[in-house]
Structure 1
Amino acid sequence: MNDLLVAARVDRLPNSRMHREWMFLFAIPLFFDSCDINTFASAAPALVRHWHIAINEIALITSASFIGMFFGATLGGLLSDRLGRKRSLMLFVLISSLGSLATALVPSVPYLFAARVITGFGISAGMVTVMTYIAELFPARSRGTWQSWAMVINLCAIPMTNFVARLLVPYGPDGWRWVFVWGALGIAFPLIAKRLPESPRWSVRAGRFSEAETALAAMETRSMAEGNVLSAPEVVVRAPEPREPWTTMFNPVYRRRTLALCAIWLLQTIGFYGFEAWVPTLLVHHGITIARSLTYFTLINVGAPLGALLAVYPADRFERKHLIALVALLIAAFGLLYGLSFTPVLIVTFGFAVGMLTQTFATLLYSYTPEQFPTGVRNSATGLTYGAGRIANVANAFVIAAVYTNYGYATVFMYIAGAWFLTALITVVFGPRTTGRSLETLNPGVGVEADAASLTPLAEYPRR
């Protein structure tokens, strides 16, 4: 049993009801994580009014989530590479759900800060694990498509949460608390997660060969029971490879990928959360009522699941790095137009375009990131790059507050557009090509003494 044999057996499986079931199961924690991520943006205007807190305190509380997300992504990634994908995912969903419930009960700003740190930890650890889990379980030819469908369901959480907030937040001084209860409903996920198999790729790297064989045999049996005929996998004679050390992501082979993805996630987080987390509050400070700002925000975010849906068709038909760069440029353009618009129709129209395309971008990046690292450090490296963006947004919350205070509403969106432009540039210049390629082809085992030249041509592979 080795990595290439596992890959051959996973990749030969036809798309089936089994994959569809897994996709729905992965969408559940993603859905409720997105519910919670978007709750504070909707609750913030009510806190400003009823708790009489300043916009800098909103920035402080917003930064709390990103502090938690940084530690969740980096430490959670390490934990998942040690415990396995399945057990760690159930643990992280439980942490985020309990954190969201705690947020609903807090009496003051310090407790609110602490609750958001805990929730952020569970959310980002869970999201990173799902990204890796999907990359390892689904066939190479369709993993981008399945990730996109999971994100379609996930992103339905954004307009649904905005709608729930629109109903509950204006309903008295404690209405905002019930929005966080809504975000905690994912606490039931561990009860149904037993239907997911452990990643056989992880099991092999952990030395659990019998568990990997059992999982693969069950997958093949179920696929054949659905009427599929399986081709014989190519048997590759090679000794099992040891788990890569954590430092692998910084060796000469992977260093460029790690640094490029850290920069992409950092800039994407500035662009995405700069928009999502601040639009309701900035609209209120711009003279629009809380109820109307939440109405605009709800209409803007109706496009979120459509954005993921846009990624379904091209995800495995065109090179992902090119799609990511193109979408980032479109977001920059529409974001600038949004910042220069002051009539309801234009605010909603350009905001809708930004909200939709940011989710197209996120869906593609969720597939693109874990593809670039070997199994032994895949979750750790994905977590590190994802976490880099989250910790950057701790400072970003204060930067946006300062830009708004000193330079005005439109300048905030110029700053956000600049982040998206740099994202596109870095992706085109430094990103490898990944679409349709086996994870083991993209990331051959690299031992401690491996030669960096073994992977040098990867970025130059012709697209299938």
Structure 2
Amino acid sequence: MSNILHSPPRESLTERLDRLPFTRRHGSLLVGSGIGWALDAFDVGLISFVIAQLSVTWKADAATLSWVASAGFAGMAVGAALGGLLADKLGRKQVFALTLLLYGVATGASALAWSVGVLLVLRFIVGLGLGAELPVASTLVSEFAPRRIRGRIVVLLEGFWAIGWLGSAVVGYLVIPTSPNGWRLALLIGMLPAVWAVFVRLRLPESVRFLQSKRRHAEAESIVVQFEASAGIVSDDSGVVGPVDSPEGRQNSAVPAGAVPDQPSRLTDLFSGDLRQRSILIWLVWFLVNFSYYGAFIWLPTLLVAAGFPLVKSFEFILIITLAQLPGYAASAYLVEKWGRRVTLSTFLIGSAVSAVAFGFGAVNGSETQIIGFGMLLSFFNLGAWGALYAMTPELYPTRLRGSGAGSAAGFGRIGSIAAPLLVPPLLALGGPILLFVVFGIVFVFAAGAAYALPELRGKTLPE
């Protein structure tokens, strides 16, 4: 008896993708997208160390340097919205590669900046590419992942963020303190995404769901066959899928079952009908999580320096705290399929709230052990929440709006990441680290409430 698997007849392409096991093809897609994701995190994390050094070498005040961080996030807000729209028009793969190239080149150019003003402009351009890439990559991976483990795969993709942020902490610790221009060398290292973009463009597949929506059915069929072949499913030259010695099969038609015709998508569609409540809630969650995460982590190195720790010692603390991101993602990847997206996201956000408040008190009255311990808890819960958020967001929208929906939510969220770095200096002046992190904790609680009101979509087919 043959052990070769075969597809039941008359299955749609998306149904065939959904029932596949995790294959080598899925692994290549995950790693290919994930390395681009890690390089993004490297860039975002690096700027926190750059700001810490510029506060010393350029003698720039906190209010001025806060604009450097916010300029990048302003670019990310615009880039996320535009990237999502372009991904629904041009394809996920194309936009993914172009955004990597844009921000990689702009990051290298940032190393040549001679003033805060020039750095601001270049960081905005970096943000355009960075903001567009993240929701596009998560949409692409989500549309290929088998249904029963889709959330877990997207969280694992988000887990590459921890690898990139850890890389930035290593470079920040080993490279930036070596000379007054160490930050320039660190930014030059950030040009790596420009090289990676070439690989992404040539090797990653385009979304089958996107191809079907554009009536490119032959291309979509070819990609599904490749993924099936990786799982031991074969196809003959006539397009019949099944064992080569079996009469069963399915004749490929001009318009396959389950194909969705191309429909014009508008941003206003995200707030029509049943999507209105989803969009409002997910935009709110994105805004609140961005506010607290970037408000805390972009300023951590500078806060520790201001607390009296030497630059190198502060960077060492951040390196240790960053390590806790990895188990945070691992726990989230397991729980999104065990508990579901909504409960996992809400739980990790509550954990982030408690950890933020504890860190605020520890930063003022605690020992080094308390600072590191509470910082690791904040890192664990906050990054686990990010993983669940990225898993949930693309699932909320149909194919023709999936890129736009994920991109616009991320883009709106970036408004929070723009505002947070600007508000940190006045909050510190008003009440020190305790007030600052209590505010972050309260914001996390509101985010948890909004997340819990979203629908649970674990194990369900992506809406077409």
Whether 1:380 and 2:400 are equivalent positions in the alignment is no
Aligned to 2:210: 202
Paired with 1:238 and 1:116, the residues of 2 have a C-alpha distance of 43
TM-aligned CA deviation for residue 158 of structure 1:
1.4
Aligned to 1:96: 103
Paired with 1:239 and 1:93, the residues of 2 have a C-alpha distance of 30
Identity across matched positions, percent? 26
1:11-410 correspondence to structure 2 within 5 Å:
11-193=18-200, 194-224=202-232, 240-246=260-266, 247-341=268-362, 342-410=366-434
TM-score normalised to the size of structure 1? 0.90
Aligned to 1:433: 456
Q: 5+ residue gaps in structure 1?
A: 445-464
Paired with 1:396 and 1:258, the residues of 2 have a C-alpha distance of 22
TM-score normalised to the size of structure 2? 0.90
Q: 5+ residue gaps in structure 2?
A: 1-9, 235-240
**For 1:400-419, what per-residue CA distance to the aligned partner results, in whole angstroms no more than 9, with x for missing partners?**
21111122121110011011
Paired with 1:417 and 1:389, the residues of 2 have a C-alpha distance of 17
Aligned 8 A contact 1:321 1:431 in 2: yes
Aligned 8 A contact 1:261 1:369 in 2: yes
Q: 1:128 to 1:237 in 2, by over 3 A?
A: closer
Paired with 2:275 and 2:403, the residues of 1 have a C-alpha distance of 14
For 1:142, the aligned partner's letter is I
For 2:303, the aligned partner's letter is L
For 2:25, the aligned partner's letter is M
Paired with 2:249 and 2:369, the residues of 1 have a C-alpha distance of 57
TM-aligned CA deviation for residue 189 of structure 1:
1.7
| SS of residue in 2 equivalent to 1:245 | coil
Paired with 1:336 and 1:276, the residues of 2 have a C-alpha distance of 14
TM-aligned CA deviation for residue 221 of structure 1:
2.6
Aligned 8 A contact 2:158 2:390 in 1: no
Aligned 8 A contact 1:35 1:182 in 2: no
For 2:399, the aligned partner's letter is T
Paired with 2:313 and 2:458, the residues of 1 have a C-alpha distance of 42
Aligned 8 A contact 2:291 2:420 in 1: yes
**For 1:250-296, what per-residue CA distance to the aligned partner results, in whole angstroms no more than 9, with x for missing partners?**
10210111110110000000111111101111121222221211111
For 2:227, the aligned partner's letter is M
Aligned 8 A contact 1:244 1:377 in 2: no
Q: 1:371 to 1:289 in 2, by over 3 A?
A: same
Paired with 2:150 and 2:346, the residues of 1 have a C-alpha distance of 20
Paired with 1:345 and 1:433, the residues of 2 have a C-alpha distance of 38
TM-aligned CA deviation for residue 64 of structure 1:
0.3
For 2:17, the aligned partner's letter is V
For 2:410, the aligned partner's letter is Y
Q: 1:189 to 1:406 in 2, by over 3 A?
A: same
Q: 1:5 to 1:285 in 2, by over 3 A?
A: same
| SS of residue in 2 equivalent to 1:437 | coil
TM-aligned CA deviation for residue 78 of structure 1:
0.8
**For 1:222-260, what per-residue CA distance to the aligned partner results, in whole angstroms no more than 9, with x for missing partners?**
32269x989989x99667433252122110210111110
Aligned 8 A contact 1:136 1:201 in 2: yes
Runs of 4+ off more than 6 Å: 228-233
Aligned 8 A contact 2:300 2:318 in 1: yes
TM-aligned CA deviation for residue 204 of structure 1:
0.9
Aligned 8 A contact 1:151 1:305 in 2: no
TM-aligned CA deviation for residue 322 of structure 1:
0.6
The size of the alignment, in residue pairs, is: 438
**For 1:1-30, what per-residue CA distance to the aligned partner results, in whole angstroms no more than 9, with x for missing partners?**
xx9823211112111112111111111110
Aligned 8 A contact 2:292 2:420 in 1: no
For 1:215, the aligned partner's letter is I
